[in-house]
Amino acid sequence: MKSPSRRALRLSHWLVWPLAALATCAVVGQASYSAFSAKVSNTGSTLAAGTVVLSDDDSGSALLSLSNLKPGSSGSRCIAVTSSGSLPSAVKLYTTDAATTRSLSSYVSWTVTQGTGGSYSSCSGFTALSSGSSLYSGTLAGFTSGATTYASGLGSWSPSGNGSETRTFQFAYTVSSTTPDSAQGGTSSFGLTWEAQNS
């Protein structure tokens, strides 16, 4: 077969550009339409290569539900939170929908400790982490006003995403023995949320 001419070579080199331009237009156009058209249906996907999953062991019960506290009353409760996602993530703890009447939450001291062992049904076996175990220590009012979003959330737990990891959180309350009479009948309620975001 005859060797290609100089002309054929030159032609082939020039043809490359319009063809590539057409091809990239097609690729970007199609990709953009499928990604950003609001008309494209938006159902949760199972295609994701990895994900983050978080669960706890309270079986839907309240962590604490106490209605007849007195000045000086104290107690604690544990809850075990499990991360079983496949991506490394960072877990933060924050409060939602905090409400207090008669400023009760200003007279409750509140500590949050992280560790291992123990469960919702019993704190027995709970062991605080050897370092960085204290997530919060102060008034309940400070807790519920300070940690309200993921960004302001508490915690240093970063599950690796390799298999499931469990961390236990211990919450302890003490109603101040100097609680004034003005707090009589006061209440404090809030939601606790642990949120994992992949890192």
Partner 1 sequence: MTARATGTAPRLWTWRHLVAVTLARSLLAGLIGLAAWGALPAAIGWHPTTVSSGSMMPRLHVGDVAVSRPLGDHVPPLSSVLLFHDPDHPDRLRMHRFVRVDDDGLLVTRGDANNADDSSPVPLSAVVGIGTLRVPWIALPITWLREGRWLPLGLVGAGLVLTLAVATSGRDRGFGDDDEPDDPGAGSTPPASDDEAQPPPSTSAAWSGAHAGLRRLGVALGAGLLVTALATTADAKFVATTTSTVSLGLSGYATCASAVAGLGPSIWYRMDETSSTTTSAADGSGNNRTGVYGSAGKTTTTAKPCAQDTGRAMTFDGSSGYLSSPQITGALPNTFSLAIWFRTTTATGGKLIGFGNQQTGASGIYDRHLYMTNSGQVVFGVYTGGVKTVATTRAYNDGAWHLGVATLSSAGMRLYLDGALIASDTSTTAGEGVTNGYLRIAYDNIDNWTSTPSSRFFAGTLDDAALFPTALTAAQVSALYASAG
Q: Kindly identify the residues of this chain, within the stretch 59-118, that bind partner 1 according to CB under 8 A.
A: 61-73, 79, 81, 85, 87, 89, 96, 102, 104-105, 107-108
Tell the smallest beta-carbon distance from residue 158 to partner 1 (Å). Answer: 14
132 lies in the binding site for partner 1 (CB under 8 A): no
162 lies in the binding site for partner 1 (CB under 8 A): no
> Rounded to an integer, what is the distance from CA 182 to the centroid of its chain?
37
36 lies in the binding site for partner 1 (CB under 8 A): yes
Q: How far apart are the first and last CA of the chain?
A: 59
56 lies in the binding site for partner 1 (CB under 8 A): yes
Determine how β-strand 108-116 pairs with β-strand 134-139. Answer: antiparallel
Cβ closest to partner 1, residue 130 vs residue 151: 151
Interface residue with partner 1 among 149, 156, 160, 164 (CB under 8 A) is 149
- Identify the three-state secondary structure at position 157: strand
127 lies in the binding site for partner 1 (CB under 8 A): no
163 lies in the binding site for partner 1 (CB under 8 A): no
CB 169 within 8 A of CB 63: no
User: What is the DSSP code (8-state) at residue 181?
Assistant: G
In this chain, which stretch among 16-24, 111-119, 123-131 interacts with partner 1, using CB under 8 A? 16-24
CB 53 within 8 A of CB 159: no
197 lies in the binding site for partner 1 (CB under 8 A): yes
Cβ closest to partner 1, residue 85 vs residue 118: 85
130 lies in the binding site for partner 1 (CB under 8 A): no
The C-alpha atoms of residue 110 and residue 90 are separated, in whole angstroms, by 23
137 lies in the binding site for partner 1 (CB under 8 A): no
CB 115 within 8 A of CB 128: yes
Tell the smallest beta-carbon distance from residue 142 to partner 1 (Å). Answer: 15
CB 194 within 8 A of CB 56: yes
138 lies in the binding site for partner 1 (CB under 8 A): no
Interface residue with partner 1 among 125, 132, 138, 191 (CB under 8 A) is 191
The C-alpha atoms of residue 197 and residue 87 are separated, in whole angstroms, by 9
Tell the smallest beta-carbon distance from residue 88 to partner 1 (Å). Answer: 10
Distances (CA, A) of 151 to 52, 95, 137, 174, 176: 18, 12, 19, 27, 30
